[in-house]
Structure 1
Amino acid sequence: MKIIDINSIPRKIIANSREKESLKKLNHSKKKWYILFFLIACMAAASWLWFLYRKPIKSLKAEDEAFQAVYHFEAGDFDKALKGDGVHKGLLEIIKAYPGTTTANLACFYTGIAYMHQKQYDEALAFLSRFKAKDFILQARAWSVMGDAHSEQKNHKQAAIYYMKAAHYKENSVYSPGYLIKAAIAFETDGQYKQAYDCYQEIIAKYPTSHYSSSLAIKESNRLSATLYL
């Protein structure tokens, strides 16, 4: 049997052989990664489809269970609204049981208002800050109540910030003037007289038909003007 001397093989052939082997390993490795990514994508898609399937069912169940809690809320029994009545879930349990649902989001709003009635301002702020809505009435209302909570805590600077957010969110002649009034009062209490004056001026300029513009805003604007330019 003839033994082939490796030194007799041209180096180019050896290099090509090694290169082919490296490419083969690289392609094999890439194939493994492609398969892994494909499996991950399939699992993610399956999870998403399951979520979409379960979400309406979960939302309907959350709505059913929240009915009694909202009833207690509207009746002014805020403790039962928050914690339940021993038979039905309270708002706090509904928020935990049905995260990501519209009902849980709205329950955060109700919970924040309930805590405000109980004068638990930190808790009210915590839940109202979790509430998100495109509805111009509820979202602005949530920010206004957060302003009220800060006002109760004597944090008038922060209160004014939330009142201004409420006033400028999808501005309208029905609610915005009232929020601007609250912002002006908070600004003035905090010693920010120019900002308070600007709030009244904004009401007069933007909402001339508002009853605030024809009475309170003009009166307070003139008062602050005299103070500012003495």
Structure 2
Amino acid sequence: MSNNTMKRESEFELVENPDALADRLVGGSEDFVARHKNLLIGIFVAIAAAVVGGFLYYQNQQTKNEEALAAMFQAEYYLEADSLSKALNGDGQNEGFKAVAEEYGSTKAGKLANFYAGVVSLKQGKYQEALNYLEEFKSDDLLLQARAYSLQGDANLELGKKEEAASLYKKAAEHKANDFFSPQYLMKAAVAYEAANQYTEAIEVYDRVITDYPLSPEVNDAKKYKARAEGLAKK
């Protein structure tokens, strides 16, 4: 019997006889496991280590986040009381936002400390420091993140970077755009463009307020300031 004939008969047996197919598959699996035992063990160990490591990291982050929230409690009180230096630097017994941000920066509370530190620095007139803190803040809270972009715009405007400020105000307006805050941020962007003598860009932004947010309180000012910008653009 030729080799080709034997091969066809073997394949026919596998198709017609489920038990023969099962035996072949099981045998093949056993051979594969025997040949690659060390590799498979290594893979399983790596997967287990990754799962355990991920769980421990999550637990550690949760613990650190709670510690950061507790550490920030007194600093928030000082901020509300307008005791800016104590809010930022602490009072000798309690940490301020600066220390919390440095120590717990990888946690949600630590990122929030960066936001507050930016707010305090902005109020103190330390605009570059404020910008540095606010750029470290990242949040999935749509209102806070947009507010952080707007505050970055404020810091840039104070530093004389008018175009950068306008861009950040627009970024704030476009971040999960809403009828309440977005027109406010757009108005700030338009004013920043005017300050940079970029009247065409300012007019475009005023138009966005008028067109996209016709029921907002900012519409009347947008129409008035647009007319002014159009006059300045012709000079």
TM range (shorter): 0.7 to 0.9
Normalised by the length of structure 1, the TM-score is 0.80
Partner of 1:177: 183
Other structure's SS at 1:99 match: coil
Note the C-alpha offset of 1:68.
Answer: 0.5
The question of 1:60 aligning with 2:31 is answered no
> Percent of counterpart pairs with the same letter?
36
Show CA shifts across 1:73-130 (max 9, x none).
1111121111111111111221232232211111110011111111111111111111
Within the candidate set 216, 219, 229, 1:224 is matched to 229
The question of 1:200 aligning with 2:206 is answered yes
Note the C-alpha offset of 1:54.
Answer: 2.8
Partner of 2:49: 43
- Counterpart-to-counterpart distance in 1, 2:88 and 2:232: 46
Contact between 2:194 and 2:229, CA under 8 Å: does it hold in 1?
no
> Structure 2 vs 1, CA of residues 121 and 28 (structure 1 numbering), >3 Å: closer, same or farther?
farther
> Structure 2 vs 1, CA of residues 99 and 43 (structure 1 numbering), >3 Å: closer, same or farther?
farther
Within the candidate set 92, 99, 103, 1:93 is matched to 99
RMSD: 2.2
Count how many residue pairs are aligned between Structure 1 and Structure 2: 204
Show CA shifts across 1:121-158 (max 9, x none).
11111111111122222111111110010110111010
The question of 1:72 aligning with 2:78 is answered yes
Normalised by the length of structure 2, the TM-score is 0.79
Other structure's SS at 1:95 match: helix
- Counterpart-to-counterpart distance in 2, 1:192 and 1:31: 69
The question of 1:104 aligning with 2:110 is answered yes
Within the candidate set 149, 155, 158, 1:152 is matched to 158
Partner of 1:136: 142
- Counterpart-to-counterpart distance in 2, 1:30 and 1:158: 58
Letter aligned with residue 179 of structure 2: S
For structure 1, list consecutive stretches of 5 or more residues without a partner in the other structure. Answer: 1-26
- Counterpart-to-counterpart distance in 1, 2:80 and 2:158: 23
Letter aligned with residue 219 of structure 1: K
For structure 2, list consecutive stretches of 5 or more residues without a partner in the other structure. Answer: 1-32
Letter aligned with residue 222 of structure 1: A
- Counterpart-to-counterpart distance in 1, 2:57 and 2:127: 35
Other structure's SS at 1:158 match: helix
Note the C-alpha offset of 1:32.
Answer: 4.7
Partner of 1:6: none
Other structure's SS at 1:211 match: coil
